């Protein structure tokens, strides 16, 4: 799958765009805002991430497990629920959307209610390596 400028719909009246792609049989929203880059440069990052999505997603999910597994097991897990392994934690993550801002990439996941419905976000600040994680909602 390759996204081209003509595949994008402009959001509002600004310079940001949206589209959808199908990943693993599910339609995923993609938001693109080139910010301080040319749209073509941002589309290169978009297409690089999508072309290697399986590897990037594995890295993104691992970053989320590294950052939130212990927090879940120690603070969010109910007493009657089992302690999760990293693999089980990762299996609870469901891809929800991808945002591209300049060369920053945010991959959003729903969490199967591990964190009361908050979104978990894996982030790459350089469009190459996912090394940051946050919770939203």
pLDDT of residue 88: 98
Domain count, the chain: 1
Domain that holds residue 88: 15-37+45-136
pLDDT of residue 11: 83
Sequence-separated contacts (24+) of 38-43 with Cβ below 8 Å? 39/5, 39/15, 40/5, 41/103, 42/100, 42/102, 42/103, 43/3, 43/4, 43/5
pLDDT of residue 79: 93
pLDDT of residue 15: 83
CB 3 within 8 A of CB 44: no
**Which stretches of the chain score pLDDT less than 70?**
13
Q: Is residue 52 part of a domain?
A: yes
pLDDT of residue 1: 76
Q: Is residue 6 part of a domain?
A: no
The tokens of 124 are what? Answer: 């790459």
């Amino acid at each position: 799958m390759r996204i081209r400028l003509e595949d994008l719909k402009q959001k509002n009246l600004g310079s940001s765009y949206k589209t959808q792609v199908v990943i693993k049989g599910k339609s995923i929203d993609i938001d693109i805002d080139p910010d301080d880059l040319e749209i073509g440069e941002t589309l290169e990052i978009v297409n690089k991430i999508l072309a290697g999505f399986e590897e990037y997603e594995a890295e993104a999910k691992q970053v989320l497990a590294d950052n939130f597994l212990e927090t879940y097991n120690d603070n969010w897990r109910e007493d009657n629920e089992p302690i999760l392994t990293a693999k089980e934690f990762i299996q609870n993550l469901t891809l929800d959307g991808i945002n591209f801002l300049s060369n920053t990439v945010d991959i959003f996941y729903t969490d199967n209610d591990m964190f009361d419905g908050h979104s978990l976000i894996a982030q790459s600040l350089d469009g190459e390596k996912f090394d940051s994680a946050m919770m939203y909602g």
